[in-house]
């Protein structure tokens, strides 16, 4: 019986080295009883063929494909429908998980049954290497959501039952690129609380000037999600 289902959405990711690093970081985990669901969200033929080759790396990889691009929330929901594990771990196509990430998060949720999900702190890196660290609050409260999401989405492991209870990710233009922020607030509203492991069990790819390059549309969407939450 599969214990953990890892969900990853990909759309026209042209940095093949980054994808392989992300996939290998999951395949090399100290905890091995998992399935790896990768959703190709309507990528062009070249990138589709590359993902098909990546999927041949390991029998635990299951490649799903959508005919057209519908966004990350939609793709993750398709993976969630296929997931067999009692725990759901997120992963992005350009990040890196520490070898013990899945094992540590599973152990945490096994013991701390009052929590519906658990994230981690993360190293921040780009093509030049690690340039910073993001230490997340161990026990986020409602007030922590006022400025930003107190969880790094691709670092999180959920109880599948919690995601099913809230209906998975919300697919909407209003939550574009903010689907994680909306999900975490909805979980909290329904009494499904999370925690963060302070240790950096994840490496999050983020350019040093990323914040200043966010579009006005993205900032307005985030502001609206925050207001609704």
pLDDT in tens, 43-96: 999 999 999 999 999 999 999 999 999 999 999 999 999 999 999 999 999 999
Indicate the pLDDT class of residue 211, thresholds 50, 70 and 90: very low
H helical segments located in the chain? 16-27, 45-55, 72-82, 101-111, 160-166, 179-189, 216-228
Q: Is the pLDDT of residue 225 over 60?
A: no
What percent of the chain is predicted at pLDDT more than 70? Answer: 90
Indicate the pLDDT class of residue 178, thresholds 50, 70 and 90: confident
Least confident of 7-16, 91-100, 155-164, 218-227: 218-227
Number of other CB atoms surrounding residue 31 within 10 Å: 17
pTM (two decimals): 0.91
pLDDT value of residue 210: 63
């Amino acid at each position: 019986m599969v214990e953990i289902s890892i969900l990853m959405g990909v759309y026209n990711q042209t940095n093949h080295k980054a994808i392989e690093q992300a996939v290998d970081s999951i395949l090399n985990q100290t905890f091995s009883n998992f399935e790896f669901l990768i959703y190709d969200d309507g990528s062009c033929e070249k990138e589709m063929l590359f993902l098909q080759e990546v999927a041949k790396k390991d029998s635990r990889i299951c490649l799903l494909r959508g005919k057209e691009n519908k966004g990350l929330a939609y793709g993750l929901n398709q993976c969630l429908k296929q997931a067999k594990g009692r725990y759901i771990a997120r992963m992005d196509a350009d990040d890196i998980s520490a070898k013990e990430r899945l094992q540590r998060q599973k152990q945490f949720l096994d013991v701390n049954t009052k929590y519906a999900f658990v994230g981690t702190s993360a190293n921040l890196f780009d093509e030049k290497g690690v340039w910073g660290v993001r230490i997340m609050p161990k026990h986020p409260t409602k007030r922590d959501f006022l400025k930003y999401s107190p969880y790094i989405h691709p670092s999180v492991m959920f109880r599948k039952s919690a995601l099913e209870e809230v209906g998975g990710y919300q697919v909407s233009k209003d939550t574009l690129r903010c689907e994680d922020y909306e999900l975490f607030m909805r979980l909290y509203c329904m009494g499904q609380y999370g925690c963060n492991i302070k240790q950096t069990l994840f490496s999050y790819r983020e350019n040093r000037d990323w914040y200043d390059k966010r579009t006005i549309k993205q900032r307005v969407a985030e502001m609206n999600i925050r207001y609704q939450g």
